[in-house]
Amino acid sequence: MKVALVQHDVAYEDARATCEHLAPLVRSAAAQGAQLVVLTEMFATGFSMATDKVAEPGAQGTGSRFLVDMASQAQVAVCGSLPVRPSGAGRPVNRFVCALPDGRTVGYDKVHPFSFGGEAASYGPGQTVTTFEWQGVAITPFVCYDLRFADAFWAVAERTDCYVVVANWPAARQGHFRALAVARAVENQAYVLATNRVGSGGGIDYAGGTIAVGPFGEVLAEAGQQEEVLLVEVSRGRVSEVRQAYPFLADRRAFEVDSPGAGQPALQKGGPG
């Protein structure tokens, strides 16, 4: 499967302007043979806590309609995350959405809201991790801060060929973004495709560094600090090849850690799901 990782700027809190900017980038990626186009976290508005202004009413929002329309027009899968207000009660969520060419969508709500940046106060956490198939590849999506939590990746490693991580990762911690993306690929023997935005928004600077890492930890492509589209090939066969040659996942297991003063050891869940 050919994947286009779109590293792009965002018109902060202006979904319409951003989508107009992104449309030709998505079309260009499709024209180059991409079957999956990956945008960034909160791709249409930037990382905004002004939920009353940016949260979308589900499938009827500007960003959601953009994904569905572009997938249909370009006949590719198009994904990124959006601030979405659920139809029922509760806070908005930071939802990864992948729109498929036939009109279907796949969703995942960010499990780890970024409390350090105020996200946990404005957005509710997701409860489950999603894996879906596209073009013969098993894809598990995560959103930005999720990248710091290895256990979430471990739990679905055996059913995942490719992790897609969409981010608005600040320039101040850019080195962490790269190191964690490579680490998640190495320890799970799977692809990690991580997109990050460029530009500035909400008083935060972003330095890009979008990266594609193979299942042996090899860097397949890496962007600089400007808008750029990376094209990479992803193969389930390559994942199987690495895992068969180095069967490390089979040695992953739960273990106990002493808890001084608690009287009982705490069970640490570290095995693949």
The single residue of 19, 98, 144, 162 carrying the catalytic annotation is 144
Per-residue model confidence (pLDDT) at position 261: 59
Per-residue model confidence (pLDDT) at position 272: 34
Active site residue 144: yes
Residues 6+ apart with CB under 8 A from 213: 181, 182, 184, 185, 191, 192, 193, 194, 219, 220
pLDDT tens, 145-180?
999 999 999 999 999 999 999 999 999 999 999 999
Cβ-contact 79, 64 below 8 angstroms: no
Distances (CA, A) of 178 to 114, 126, 207: 18, 24, 11
Q: Collapse the DSSP code of 15 into the 3-class scheme (helix H, G, I; strand E, B; otherwise coil) and give the result.
A: helix
Q: Distance between alpha carbon 127 and the CA centroid of its chain, in Å? A: 16
pLDDT tens, 214-259?
999 999 999 999 999 999 999 999 999 999 999 999 999 877 777 6
Active site residue 98: no
* pLDDT over 60 (residue 268): no
Per-residue model confidence (pLDDT) at position 255: 75
Q: CA 171 to CA 185: how far, in whole Å?
A: 22
pLDDT tens, 80-92?
999 999 876 689 9
Q: Which CATH class is domain 2-248?
A: alpha beta
Per-residue model confidence (pLDDT) at position 260: 66
The single residue of 19, 98, 110, 119 carrying the catalytic annotation is 110
**In the chain, where the domains are located:** 2-248
The predicted model scores a pTM of 0.93
* pLDDT over 80 (residue 266): no
Strand ranges in the chain using DSSP code E only, listed in sequence order:
2-7, 36-38, 77-84, 93-99, 105-109, 132-134, 137-143, 162-167, 191-196, 198-201, 204-207, 211-213, 219-222, 228-233, 255-257, 266-268
pLDDT band at residue 269 using 50, 70 and 90 as cut-offs: very low
pLDDT tens, 86-140?
876 689 999 999 999 999 999 999 999 999 999 999 999 999 999 999 999 999 9
Per-residue model confidence (pLDDT) at position 19: 98
Q: Collapse the DSSP code of 40 into the 3-class scheme (helix H, G, I; strand E, B; otherwise coil) and give the result.
A: coil
The single residue of 19, 41, 98, 162 carrying the catalytic annotation is 41
Tokens of 33: 């043979």
Strand order of the β-sheet with 36-38 is 105-109, 93-99, 77-84, 36-38, 2-7, 228-233
Active site residue 41: yes
